[in-house]
Structure 1
Amino acid sequence: MSESSAVSGTAAEGSGRHGGGDALVFDVVVVGAGPVGENVADRAAAAGLSVAVVESELVGGECSYWACMPSKALLRPVIARADAGRLPGLAGAVREPLDTDAVLARRDEFASHWKDDGQLGWLDSIGVSLYRGHGRLDGERRVTVEGPDGGRTALTARHAVAVCTGSRAVVPGLPGIEDARPWTSREATSAKAAPGRLAVVGGGVVGVEMATAWAALGSRVTLLVRGDGLLPRMEPFAGELVAEALAGAGAEVRTGASVAAVERSRPDGPVTVVLEGGERLEADEILFATGRAPRTGDLGLETVGLEPGSWLSVDDSCRVRDSEWLYAVGDVNHRALLTHQGKYQARIAGAAIAARAAGDTPDTRAWGAHAATADHAAVPQVVFTDPEVAAVGLSLAEAERAGHRVRAVDYDLSSVAGASLYADGYRGRARMVVDLEREILLGVTLAGPGVGELIHAATVAVVGEVPISRLWHAVPSYPTISEVWLRLLETYRG
């Protein structure tokens, strides 16, 4: 990890923005410089507020170095090769295995070789001061930073402190877990070589994406899922299609498989996975993709009356409930653990902080400029497996649980002309969930090759609450996979 000076650039030095006394004074102090913290800082600075950012690791955060960017860099060659393999004229050219070393080298480029120099330059360009070290709340509007050299810096915020520290992977406290040295998402996205045998525990997004990537890069993958299917928070057909594709790619998918213990007798030896019931499996590495917890355990929450290690409850402007100055943005508020959604919250929060600092009343009505309404109604997500899965809004089950009177409209994507042109043997499915009382869309799910680029159209329809009658006038270009919209509407109307 890059270790630059405690203060980056000239923005924090001699800027005239610091107050006197024993603390440096800024309008806003942001704890955590991942994409969420960067966006809060950017919006606040653009409004003319002075901003300090505190970061204990790399500026750019989890997404840049251990999640979104490296994982998708691993997956893109896998998906491209799979698409090419379904096209006559190309299939024969991609029969050889992927060049794993080349894929990993490209992954390293997208992770900036785990250096944050470029991010530092950007922070300096917008006039934001960076403090390297571990930041902790120290009472109202105060943050104490313990630097890499052990020195301490006290920061005071005139208007707001924004906690943007994200989340961490949860590893269950199983017998033998410490000696087993399991992978989490960080090790899975930054590994320097493909393990011969990889056991993946968990059937959520991280589990299925990493199973997809490493199976294609040469590992023999066993996916162990405690439940009865993959991607349990999405429409059931999505997980079914992904499970079939993983099996076709050579991975073993085992549902109803609960891990009871793990064993590794020597550091360079294999790991044994003990399942409930006593069955034993052997692998070279084991990845636990079994959930996330907030990075709030050593944040000084107790100094402001909050529970250390807890998720932070916020209103729609991302201000912590019962506080006038503390904001929690991104994963730490547990609203939607997705980078793009955290960045959306950050834009909302930054604007709300600026409005309140100016003495204005924020517009926190649904879909207002200072309300993260999409967290409730229109969260989009793409799972970069083969096939891809893309969804926004409510699933059928979620809509029914919420008390809506709804109808699910399904269509076989392989029947769309654009899909058959995209690839021979195309397999996929689409579903829209229609609110029958208002005749608007509450949710859309797509599963099939190439559908990730279709989901924003669905997001616009859900956010805009576009009536079905108006969607009839949104004509899809022929022959594209987007023609599925017309087929869904035709199916709905009968």
Structure 2
Amino acid sequence: MGASDTYDVVVIGAGPVGENVADRARAAGLATAVVESELVGGECSYWACMPSKALLRPAAALADARRVAGAREAVTGELDAAAVLARRDGFTSHWHDDGQADWVKGIGADLVRGHGRLDGPRRVLVDTAEGGRLVLTARHAVAVCTGTRAAVPDLPGVAEARPWTSREATGSHTVPGRLAVVGGGVVAVEMATAWRALGSAVTLLVRGGRLLPRMEPFAGELVAEGLARAGVDVRTGTSVAELHRPGGSGPVTLVLGGGERLEADEVLFATGRVPHTADLGLETVGLEPGSWLDVDDTCRVRGVEGGWLYAVGDANHRALLTHQGKYQARIAGAAIGERAAGREPDTAPWGAHAATADHAAVPQVVFTDPEAAAVGLSAAEAERAGHRVRAVDQDLGAVAGASLYADGYRGRARMVVDEDRGVLLGVTFVGPGVAELLHSATVAVAGEVPLDRLWHAVPSYPTVSEVWLRLLEAYRG
């Protein structure tokens, strides 16, 4: 860091979101400091997106081979767990952040290592990694990009049980013989998929009645079937009452809601996320420590006098996904630059400085087997929002390209149509390899492409994308 402790912009958190805010601020010619207490690159690079997908990809590749006659006969063994874990380590750069730290410096931003917290308007107090203390002052903006941390329920025995969270689940260097996974959301089903493929005996404990409750019901149903086929013991309507792990080592015993006991070598709690804002000094600017930060479409925090505080990414609770956080960062960084130049940013719907997609076109892929991919609103969400909708379904296995992709292909697609405007509000695909279908749906939803125009976007034959033609045919009758 240079001699000056005053910057145009101070970014707290150097994950992908903070990096993108800094990049856009620097592109606007603003002097920028980035404060990071852990690894530059954040959760996604070292404990979430990258390592989890590195664990899941070998399982998907093996499953794809086994679904095609002629290829399945060539598959003579199981995954090499050591090789999978070593490949995972490569994608995390072995938990070293030199490359990403150099990138921050390369854009002309100053990297400050240490724990940053607000200390009144436009001030950030940093306890540095070397044991010192710095005060950084921002002329224009402070951006909070601290993300979230795993939520672990306060159950009897949970501290002694030393449960896994998503970090241990993506970073473990050994394969547990028996793994209990508590939760029914994305992290739970993906980690159940990965560790079962690596050889663990996995039990998935879901308090609710179905998996992936925020997606169309059929998504959770097909993913549950896939997990069961892989050998995962899926138990819905099951809660955990307490845990026992005497001395904090050896097997852990889970006492379930009905009194049944389940023994495992490790237990993963994938039961949601909470904002990483408890020790951020929010109270010094009139906000509640540990709270989600309410923002407008430029990611500026509401209720802070002077409009200098921004919260970008997971901390604002708009869409807890890396790609949405990076999208918000591009919007927020540009808006900060506009305001610093004395111009009002374009915040009209779908304007250059409005994170409108957070409301209408959020895409997400669940990398299980089968994959589940969705964008926009489910049919139930659209109806609750007051839209007059029609849901159109298609058996993906009946599409020629899908039948070539895998023998006995099982999958389903749904598009949710706004009947009054003739545009798509949401699309969901479930099946092997559907992740790469999702961006076409995202373009259609975000672009509000009329169905009459979409009819002229001709899918190539024979590809899985031909499902678009079948869905439109079904809609037209």
Give the partner amino acid of 1:183: W
**2:181 — aligned with what?**
200
What SS does the corresponding residue of 1:376 show, helix, strand or coil? helix
Whether 1:252 and 2:241 are equivalent positions in the alignment is no
Equivalent residue for 1:357, pick from 340, 345, 350:
340
Whether 1:287 and 2:287 are equivalent positions in the alignment is no
What SS does the corresponding residue of 2:248 show, helix, strand or coil? coil
What SS does the corresponding residue of 1:348 show, helix, strand or coil? helix
Whether 1:456 and 2:442 are equivalent positions in the alignment is no
CA offsets, 1:156-188, max 9 Å, x none?
000000000000000000000000000000000
Whether 1:321 and 2:266 are equivalent positions in the alignment is no
Equivalent residue for 1:92, pick from 63, 73, 78:
73
Equivalent residue for 1:101, pick from 72, 82, 97:
82
**2:253 — aligned with what?**
272
Give the partner amino acid of 1:471: L
Whether 1:131 and 2:112 are equivalent positions in the alignment is yes
- Contact 1:85/1:95, CA 8 A, preserved across alignment: no
Whether 1:415 and 2:404 are equivalent positions in the alignment is no
**Structure 1 Cα separation of the partners of residues 354 and 457 of structure 2:** 28
Deviation at 1:92, TM superposition (A): 2.1
What SS does the corresponding residue of 1:320 show, helix, strand or coil? coil
Deviation at 1:339, TM superposition (A): 0.3
Equivalent residue for 1:188, pick from 161, 166, 169:
169
- Contact 1:317/1:370, CA 8 A, preserved across alignment: yes
Shift in CA distance, 95/202, structure 1 to aligned 2, threshold 3 Å = farther
CA offsets, 1:51-95, max 9 Å, x none?
000000000000000000000000000000000001111112224
Equivalent residue for 1:401, pick from 361, 381, 384:
384
Give the partner amino acid of 1:228: G
**1:46 — aligned with what?**
27
Whether 1:445 and 2:428 are equivalent positions in the alignment is yes
**Structure 1 Cα separation of the partners of residues 349 and 178 of structure 2:** 49
Give the partner amino acid of 2:470: R
What SS does the corresponding residue of 1:144 show, helix, strand or coil? strand
CA offsets, 1:109-136, max 9 Å, x none?
0011000000011111110100000001
What SS does the corresponding residue of 1:83 show, helix, strand or coil? helix
**Structure 2 Cα separation of the partners of residues 85 and 268 of structure 1:** 38
Give the partner amino acid of 1:371: A
Whether 1:243 and 2:224 are equivalent positions in the alignment is yes
- Contact 1:214/1:221, CA 8 A, preserved across alignment: yes
Whether 1:382 and 2:365 are equivalent positions in the alignment is yes
Deviation at 1:203, TM superposition (A): 0.6
Q: Structure 2: which 5+ residue stretches go unaligned?
A: none
Give the partner amino acid of 1:320: V
What SS does the corresponding residue of 1:266 show, helix, strand or coil? helix
Deviation at 1:383, TM superposition (A): 0.3
Give the partner amino acid of 2:220: G
**Structure 2 Cα separation of the partners of residues 300 and 13 of structure 1:** 25
Equivalent residue for 2:467, pick from 465, 484, 488:
484
**2:2 — aligned with what?**
13
Deviation at 1:277, TM superposition (A): 1.5
- Contact 1:228/1:256, CA 8 A, preserved across alignment: yes
**Structure 2 Cα separation of the partners of residues 58 and 380 of structure 1:** 27
**1:226 — aligned with what?**
207
CA offsets, 1:235-288, max 9 Å, x none?
011111110111110110000001101110133310001111201000000000
Whether 1:298 and 2:289 are equivalent positions in the alignment is no
Equivalent residue for 2:17, pick from 32, 36, 39:
36
What SS does the corresponding residue of 2:473 show, helix, strand or coil? helix
Deviation at 1:13, TM superposition (A): 2.9
What SS does the corresponding residue of 1:162 show, helix, strand or coil? strand
1:138-153 equivalent positions in 2, closer than 5 A: 138-153=119-134
**1:6 — aligned with what?**
none
**Structure 2 Cα separation of the partners of residues 442 and 348 of structure 1:** 23
**2:293 — aligned with what?**
312
**Structure 1 Cα separation of the partners of residues 24 and 129 of structure 2:** 28
**1:5 — aligned with what?**
none
What SS does the corresponding residue of 1:133 show, helix, strand or coil? strand
RMSD, matched Cα: 0.7
**Structure 2 Cα separation of the partners of residues 93 and 56 of structure 1:** 48
Deviation at 1:385, TM superposition (A): 0.4
1:145-184 equivalent positions in 2, closer than 5 A: 145-184=126-165
**1:74 — aligned with what?**
55
**1:21 — aligned with what?**
none
Q: Structure 1: which 5+ residue stretches go unaligned?
A: 1-11, 19-23
CA offsets, 1:313-361, max 9 Å, x none?
0000000002310000000000000000000000000000000000001
Give the partner amino acid of 2:474: T
Whether 1:333 and 2:322 are equivalent positions in the alignment is no
- The TM-score, its normalising length taken from structure 1, stands at 0.96
- The TM-score, its normalising length taken from structure 2, stands at 0.99
Give the partner amino acid of 2:416: V
**How many equivalent pairs are there?**
475
- Contact 1:175/1:262, CA 8 A, preserved across alignment: yes
**1:9 — aligned with what?**
none
CA offsets, 1:177-215, max 9 Å, x none?
000000000000000011000000001000000000000
**Structure 1 Cα separation of the partners of residues 120 and 87 of structure 2:** 44
Give the partner amino acid of 1:485: W
**Structure 2 Cα separation of the partners of residues 81 and 47 of structure 1:** 46
**2:46 — aligned with what?**
65
Give the partner amino acid of 1:13: G
- Contact 1:476/1:482, CA 8 A, preserved across alignment: yes
After TM superposition, the structure 1 stretch with the greater mean CA deviation from structure 2, 333-342 or 315-324, is: 315-324
Whether 1:342 and 2:325 are equivalent positions in the alignment is yes
CA offsets, 1:380-427, max 9 Å, x none?
000000000100000001001000000000000000000000010110
**Structure 2 Cα separation of the partners of residues 226 and 117 of structure 1:** 41
